[in-house]
């Protein structure tokens, strides 16, 4: 009998424990699915593409070439605006202060964005504030005179400059620009003194030169190619003789350690989201790698390039070191 009661008690205790365990376990409620919030698609409206020089120059020519391709790739209108001044510094200052939402971008020129902040405390921006998206072309710089100039060679040009310090006027685009530094290098290596006349862009610079308001010009390769029948190129800023001007020596051939050139690209304000930059980068790189566009550029005197954001950043940093050394050298 005791054994039966013990067995009954054990069964009751096990039953109570089991019931208590089942009652104490919390039933997990099914998780409610959070409503999906779709990220805003970019771009959703038109994009402003600022040229920090006058209309008609190299930056404008390339932006106009890119415009229909960008609109097709991005699915939105691309509006080109001009904000010239201070050799591009006005436009780059506004770029660094613009809203970083991907709807504002500006053409950038190297070495301008390096030289201006390095030389002027009032430049309005710093090189590191320029947030590159891509670099897509270059134009070597050449020294030229008109066909009716008395200077047949760079040797004659230098000889006259030595006998007449400051008498030769040279047109260039911007102060503390690639053209300005090329002039300083030439003066340094040739032992001459000239008068540099800066203009707000390549177009007015060229007009003044062709109108005989200056005796010479330091001009970009595409301008020299465009007006090859009216000019005589005395020296060219490439590593080898430029095929369009096979009779024109390079500066290096004449013993001058200089390879003046202008690189062009596009930048966005600091703080622009990485995914937005990637979208823009893809659009610009698609254009830069287009065989037909590259062919057009070469025929017009441009040197095609195709650098994405990271490669552009590294290139700017490398070029900055080089130009700071050049600045130190020409100031000695």
Instruction: Say if 7 falls within a structural domain.
Output: no
User: Does 146 share its domain with 229?
Assistant: yes
User: Does 134 share its domain with 278?
Assistant: yes
Please report, for the domain that includes residue 90, its CATH number: 3.40.190.150
Please report, for the domain that includes residue 163, its CATH number: 3.40.190.10
Instruction: Say if 72 falls within a structural domain.
Output: yes
Alpha carbon distance 187, 157 (integer Å)? 12
Structurally, the chain folds into a number of domains equal to 2
Instruction: Output the pTM of the full model.
Output: 0.81
User: Does 222 share its domain with 266?
Assistant: no
User: Does 161 share its domain with 95?
Assistant: no
Its domain, for residue 126, covers 47-138+262-330
Instruction: Say if 56 falls within a structural domain.
Output: yes
User: Does 279 share its domain with 131?
Assistant: yes
The strand pairing partners of 20, in sequence order, are none
Last residue of some domain: 236, 251, 280?
236
Alpha carbon distance 220, 222 (integer Å)? 6
User: Does 155 share its domain with 215?
Assistant: yes
Question: Do 224 and 231 touch, CB atoms closer than 8 A?
Answer: yes
Instruction: Say if 39 falls within a structural domain.
Output: no
CA 35, 36, 39, 41 dihedral sign is negative
User: Does 224 share its domain with 278?
Assistant: no
Instruction: Say if 18 falls within a structural domain.
Output: no
List the pLDDT tens digit at each of the 332 positions of the chain: 444 544 444 444 445 444 444 444 445 555 555 555 555 789 999 999 999 999 998 999 999 999 999 999 999 999 999 999 998 999 999 999 999 999 999 999 999 999 999 988 899 999 999 999 999 999 999 999 999 999 999 999 999 999 999 999 999 998 888 999 999 999 999 999 999 999 988 889 999 999 999 999 999 999 999 999 999 999 999 989 988 899 999 999 999 999 999 999 999 999 999 999 999 999 999 999 999 999 999 999 999 999 999 999 999 999 999 999 998 888 77
Backbone angles phi, psi at 96, to 5 degrees: -70, -15
């Amino acid at each position: 009998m005791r054994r039966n009661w013990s067995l009954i008690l054990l069964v009751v205790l096990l039953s109570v424990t089991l019931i208590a365990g089942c009652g104490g376990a919390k039933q997990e409620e099914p998780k409610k699915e959070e409503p999906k919030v779709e990220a805003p698609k970019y771009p959703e409206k038109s994009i402003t593409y600022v040229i920090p020089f006058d209309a008609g120059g190299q930056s404008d020519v390339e932006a106009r070439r890119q415009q229909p391709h960008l609109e097709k790739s991005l699915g939105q209108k691309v509006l080109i605006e001009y904000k010239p001044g201070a050799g591009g510094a006005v436009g780059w200052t506004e770029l660094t202060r613009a809203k970083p939402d991907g709807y504002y971008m500006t053409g950038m020129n190297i070495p301008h964005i390096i030289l201006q902040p390095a030389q002027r405390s009032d430049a309005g921006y710093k090189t590191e504030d320029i947030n590159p998206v891509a670099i897509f072309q270059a134009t070597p710089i050449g020294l030229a005179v008109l066909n009716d100039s008395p200077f047949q060679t760079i040797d004659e040009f230098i000889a006259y400059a030595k006998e007449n310090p400051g008498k030769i006027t040279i047109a260039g685009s911007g102060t503390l620009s690639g053209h300005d530094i090329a002039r300083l290098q030439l003066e340094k290596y040739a032992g001459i003194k000239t008068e540099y006349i800066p203009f707000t862009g390549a177009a007015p610079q060229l007009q003044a030169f062709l109108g005989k308001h200056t005796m010479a010009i330091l001009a970009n390769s595409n301008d020299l190619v465009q007006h090859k029948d009216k000019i005589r190129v005395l020296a060219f800023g490439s590593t080898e003789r430029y095929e369009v001007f096979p009779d024109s020596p390079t500066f290096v051939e004449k013993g001058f350690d200089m390879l003046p050139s202008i690189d062009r690209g596009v930048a966005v304000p600091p703080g622009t989201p990485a995914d937005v930059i990637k979208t823009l980068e893809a659009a610009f790189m698609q254009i830069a790698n287009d065989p037909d566009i590259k062919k057009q550029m070469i025929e017009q005197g441009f040197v095609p390039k195709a650098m994405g954001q990271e490669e552009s950043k590294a290139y700017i940093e490398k070029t900055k070191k080089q130009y700071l050394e050049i600045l130190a050298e020409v100031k000695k």
